[in-house]
Chains A and B, each alone.
Chain A
Amino acid sequence: MVSYLINRLLHIVAVLFGVVSGTFVLLHLAGDPLAGLIPPGAGPEVENQIRIAYGLDRPLPMQYLDFVGRAMRGDFGDSWRQGRPALDAVLERLPATLMLTAVATALAVGVGSCLGVLAASRPGSLLDIGARLTALLGQAVPAFWLGTMLILLFAVELRWLPASGLQGPGGVILPALSLAAYPAATLTRLLRASMIEALGADYIRTARAKGLSRSRILIGHALRNAALPALAFTGVQVGFLLGGAVIVEGVFAYPGIGGLALEAVAARDIPLVEAFVWVVAAMILVVNALSGLVAALLDPRLREDGLALRSASS
């Protein structure tokens, strides 16, 4: 177990190093970092002043070494636009994103697993057809369109929820619904397929023969075996949501990190972009490690060798 943890930690450090280096290279490939910083109309002397103030007058390898050294410790310097530590600006917006991710994931997992299990329990029934149709629709509808329709229905027509923003917990519901539609639909289809497969297996027949109740068989035996691919998908999806749902945040004026990242990229606020990428990468690594652990808890086969504790997704 200790060697597993050490291995995992080295893995995380290596990936973060790669992410930090990759961001640096990409941002400097994207053109003069000063493009968004030099005022239209600033003279060459102002430009030089700004270049020196931000350390952009040094040779690129120097900038890289200095940057990587600080970035690996979580120090990205001050945001160029906000004039305060870039990491603070990102962390400040993180709670809203975490809340949105948590609610959307809970909704997706709740609805997806109920529909998937119910559909699989009676394949070919009206219930099954209904669940599959809903899933198809959930996968096909784009989140921004669904978001707009939810606003029209719940904010404009019914006035149950605010149209945008996050003042009080009500503000998280509509964006979470918009974001949950796709993963809920995918989970429904994944679970339905793997449940149907599991329900045809020998051990289910054995369980029936033992006289176990229908729900025991469905949940305790079939679902536990069928859940692995769904779990892997959920892990990936959580990582995706943590990266900031840029479009849905835009539709709902939701104060998560996606909108911040978009502004930072548009303004070429390099420290802020770097801090954002670093935070998201770190969170995704943590989520991957966690989903690996949960997979191992569910499936004893994955526990035999410590190093095999990896989710099916990675």
Chain B
Amino acid sequence: MAPLHSSRISRRGALGAAGLVAGSALLVPGMRRAGGSAWAHQIYDQDLVIDLAVEPPTLDPALVYESDGWSVIHSIYDALVQFGPDGSLEMVLAESMAQVDPRTWEITLRPDITFHNGEPLDAAAIAFSISHLLDPETASQVAGNFQVIEEVEEVNSLTARLHLSAPAPWLPSVMAPWLALLPPVYAGDPANEFAKNPVGTGPYRFVRWDRGSRIALERNDDYFGNSAKGEPASESVAFRFVPDATTRVTDLVSDTSQLVRAVPFDELETVEATAEVVAQPIAGCSFVRIPTDVAPFDNGMVRQALNHAVDVEAIIATLLGGHGVRLPNVFVPGGLGYDEDLSPHTYDPELAKQLLADAGYPDGFNTRLAYTTGDRADLAAAIAGQLGAAGIDVELEPVETATFNATWQDPEAAPLRFLTWRPLYDPYTLLSLVISNTGFLSRYDNPEAQALIEAGAVEPDPEERDRIYRELGNVLHDSPAGIYLWSLTSFYGVDRDAPPWTPRPDDWILPLVAEGTL
């Protein structure tokens, strides 16, 4: 008995040491020995098993606000439009969408599309879905984005006109995630509880939802051809909800799942030993918000000094595996307003110190930097460390997300805050919330920028809008609203035997293959 115990102890100890020192070394032989992915089929009857991190609280599209939820939502439902890899607007359920005049949009639907329950898709679905979003009973957090729509006029069975209270050239960017079309008859009957038993036009039909665990879908054989989203990649799909990143990685290497979200940076090698890592550029950015309503940040030279003090390239190379582009402002490649010819601030700690001295802070100053507990602490620490080298002593404050979101304008909260914002095809929401002096998240005020933000929000011509935003980009570069950092990259882990699948720049994991991507 005693020898048995001691051998178990030593086995555990050895595993522990191996796991702590070199997790990947231990994982490799296991994978080679077992091989194949028969395992997934032992546990699941689905052909494709996907690990997401966050479970959507409901399957009502108006009440889902992040990429994991949208991955499920847009597998079941379709929106009118989406944004393609190059940031261009693509039609999904809409056949065309045009501005008749700046305050009137005409949407024509694709003909002959039916919902999973047989209900035909017609203009009534557009009117119903918009009024559902705006209904105070729905309590959607994004209703404000759609309040510009005053009336939905059904012109004929496939055509609707949106009458707006003000020009809203950014409308497609909020329609893409939130305006998934609902079947009016089915969703209009409360007895059906569509948020629990969703019916859409999308590439997959809803099968079942084991709360806390998974959502199972099956292929919609009647899904319309030539969808810009792509074709279903699999007969059946299970989305599992696995909050712990290390568990998602072990799911992948043990073939419990075939596709996992957000592989942590320090486990990329582990995954690469047995599966593939897909590094997908995401239309979004990270920056450190700097307020202008409090000293010393009201001084533009101080804000420039902060930008010169952080070696963003080094952080990208060491902590982000070389993925991501250093940005000169908040605009990103593939989105409106991005200017390749505008150089980011140089990394120059001496210049930073000089600027601080010129601004009247020869000995630097103390400040605080907040980030959410969901963000990577090492990134915040690297930024704080580099600011420290330039004489700015930064105290780091990890904050729970709900508190972070409640303290955007709180003068007691840390003045600097680490932000990640996506998607950014259209920077309207970011600008109007975080940078405009009327934004509810903003502590930035600059008259020159303000005029351009307001002009960009109502300019109907896309090229002219892009030009306005480029000009704004120059202003924001010279009079910074933040320490500008990098464009985002998502790391997905993919089993080598997984069905082909197309990653997306909006970071939704849809089990679809888009045309021209194979």
On A, residues with C-beta under 8 Å from B are 31-32, 34-36, 38-43, 46, 49-50, 53, 79, 81-84, 89, 92-93, 96, 126-127, 129-131, 133-134, 137, 141, 145, 148-149, 151-153, 155-159, 162-168, 170, 250-253, 255-256, 259-260, 263, 266-268
Contact = CB atoms under 8 A, between A and B. Distances in A.
Contact of A253 (B33, B240, B429): B240
A141 B195 CA distance: 43
Interface in B180-238: 195-196, 210-214
A84 B211 CA distance: 13
Contacts of A260: 212
Contact of B196 (A84, A153, A156, A170): A84
Interface in B317-363: none
Contacts of B33: 157
Contacts of A251: 244, 246-247
B144 interface: yes
B43 A167 contact: yes
Contacts of B26: 152, 156-157
A40 B403 contact: no
Contacts of A137: 9, 12
Interface size class of B (residues with CB under 8 A): 35 or more
Most buried by A among B4, B402, B408: B402
B39 A159 contact: yes
Most buried by A among B144, B256, B400, B441: B256
A57 B215 CA distance: 36
13 contacts: A40-B433, A41-B429, A43-B440, A46-B143, A83-B195, A130-B5, A134-B9, A148-B250, A149-B12, A151-B247, A151-B254, A164-B251, A267-B57
A165 B256 contact: yes
Nearest to A137: B9
B58 interface: yes
A244 to B, nearest CB: 11
A134 B12 CA distance: 12
A157 B143 CA distance: 49
A156 B253 contact: yes
Contact of B246 (A134, A148, A256): A148
Given A41-B441, A81-B57, 13 more contacts: A36-B402, A39-B144, A40-B405, A79-B57, A83-B57, A93-B211, A129-B2, A148-B250, A156-B27, A157-B26, A167-B213, A253-B251, A266-B402
B401 interface: yes
A166 B34 CA distance: 22
Given A41-B433, A92-B211, A156-B253, A82 B136 contact: no
A68 B443 CA distance: 40
B15 A127 contact: no
Nearest to B246: A148
A134 B8 CA distance: 9
A156 B30 contact: yes
B405 A35 contact: yes
B22 to A, nearest CB: 12
Given A96-B212, A251-B247, A253-B243, A159 B254 contact: yes
Contacts of A252: 247
A5 to B, nearest CB: 36
Given A164-B251, A253-B242, A253-B243, A40 B212 contact: no
A184 to B, nearest CB: 13
Contacts of B57: 79, 81-83, 267
